[in-house]
Amino acid sequence: MKIGNSIMALMVALPFVVSAPNVMAATAEGVVLDSVHIDSGDTPSLQRGAALFVNYCLSCHGAAYMRYERLAYDLDIPMETLAEDFMFTTDKPGDLMKTAMTEDDAKEWFGVAPPDLTLVSRVRNNEWLYTYLRAFYLDENSPNGWNNSLFENVAMPHVLYELQGAQTLVGHVETDEGAAVETSAHQNIVGDTIFEIQKVGKNSPEEFDMAMRDLVNFLSYLAEPAQLQRRSIGIWVLAWLAVLFVVSFLLKKEYWRDIH
């Protein structure tokens, strides 16, 4: 009886225990994250995200659990395009996506080694990444001239500067009072932080947000490539169940015909 009770208690408590870390992540530091639409079935978005990743991130960060040829296969990238646009000249399709930078050099240049990004969308989460990538701002007190409102004193410079342009920190939206904040055309709100746009980049703010959505979509795929297969297997499973349903229904009718 006692054991039975404890098992019951455990079964009731388990979903809360398992989901607790997520809830904490969203509220622990009181940070406000922007939501992002992730769609593993949107191949063009994943391709654009992969191109951004290779061009702007791979010089410092690796994705060392992913091979180039798997990327090409999953994202419908032709082999020639893969070799020309996605790989370092010395890489082979079967190679892992490692960064060219050694850990010692990285530590010397940045103080910390840029972490491998294969699983970052699981370690952080997609909303965190989407907010982080849009929250760099000019800060003359920081060693590399940049800071980030979500990751205070981050050692990473704003590598997407030419796309986004440059912004400075203005303050935070006063969510407590519930007052809607008036923003002008040259202001940008990320999470609950207001930025003043100082220099326009190649992208408009909307285009930059779309590009970051593609990049986060790609990072989410990277952390769980099997989600693509699961999706297509899922469709076949449902189709199979539908066929099975029709067959069983006809069979049932056949069996019961004489009885009725």
Please pick, from the candidates 156, 181, 210, 228, the single residue that binds ligand HEC as defined by CB under 6 A.
Answer: 156
Please pick, from the candidates 51, 77, 120, 138, the single residue that binds ligand HEC as defined by CB under 6 A.
Answer: 120
Cβ contacts of 170 within 8 Å, gap of 6 or more = 187, 193, 194, 195, 196
Q: Which two tokens stand for residue 209?
A: 């947000």
Residues 77-116 that bind ligand HEC (CB under 6 A): 110, 112, 114-115
Q: Which stretch binds ligand HEC (CB under 6 A): 78-86, 151-159, 178-186, 240-248?
A: 151-159
Q: How far apart are CA 138 and CA 198, in angstroms?
A: 9
Q: How far apart are CA 52 and CA 207, in angstroms?
A: 13
Q: Minimum distance between the CB of residue 219 and ligand HEC, rounded to whole angstroms? A: 7
Cβ contacts of 180 within 8 Å, gap of 6 or more = none
Q: How far apart are CA 218 and CA 54, in angstroms?
A: 11
Q: Which stretch binds ligand HEC (CB under 6 A): 51-59, 69-77, 87-95, 173-181?
A: 51-59
Amino acid at 46: L
- Nearer to ligand HEC by Cβ, of 65 and 187: the residue is 65
Q: How far apart are CA 101 and CA 59, in angstroms?
A: 7
Residues 178-237 that bind ligand HEC (CB under 6 A): 215
> How many other C-beta atoms are found inside a 10 Å radius of the C-beta of residue 177?
8
Is position 160 an interface residue for ligand HEC (rule: CB under 6 A)?
yes
Q: Minimum distance between the CB of residue 28 and ligand HEC, rounded to whole angstroms? A: 15
Residue 15's Cα: distance from chain center in Å?
25
Burial class, 169, CB count within 10 angstroms (exposed 0-12 / middle 13-18 / buried 19+): middle
Is position 62 an interface residue for ligand HEC (rule: CB under 6 A)?
no
Is position 36 an interface residue for ligand HEC (rule: CB under 6 A)?
no
Q: How far apart are CA 72 and CA 14, in angstroms?
A: 40
- Nearer to ligand HEC by Cβ, of 120 and 138: the residue is 120
Q: Minimum distance between the CB of residue 166 and ligand HEC, rounded to whole angstroms? A: 16
Please pick, from the candidates 48, 61, 134, 213, the single residue that binds ligand HEC as defined by CB under 6 A.
Answer: 61
Q: Minimum distance between the CB of residue 109 and ligand HEC, rounded to whole angstroms? A: 8
Q: Minimum distance between the CB of residue 108 and ligand HEC, rounded to whole angstroms? A: 11
Cβ contacts of 219 within 8 Å, gap of 6 or more = 49, 53, 117, 120, 121, 126, 129
Q: Are 114 and 106 in contact (CB under 8 A)?
A: yes
Q: Which two tokens stand for residue 114?
A: 């840029």
Q: Which stretch binds ligand HEC (CB under 6 A): 30-38, 117-125, 175-183, 240-248?
A: 117-125
Give the residues lining the site for ligand HEC (CB under 6 A).
56-57, 59-61, 110, 112, 114-115, 117, 120, 123-124, 129, 132-133, 154-157, 159-160, 215
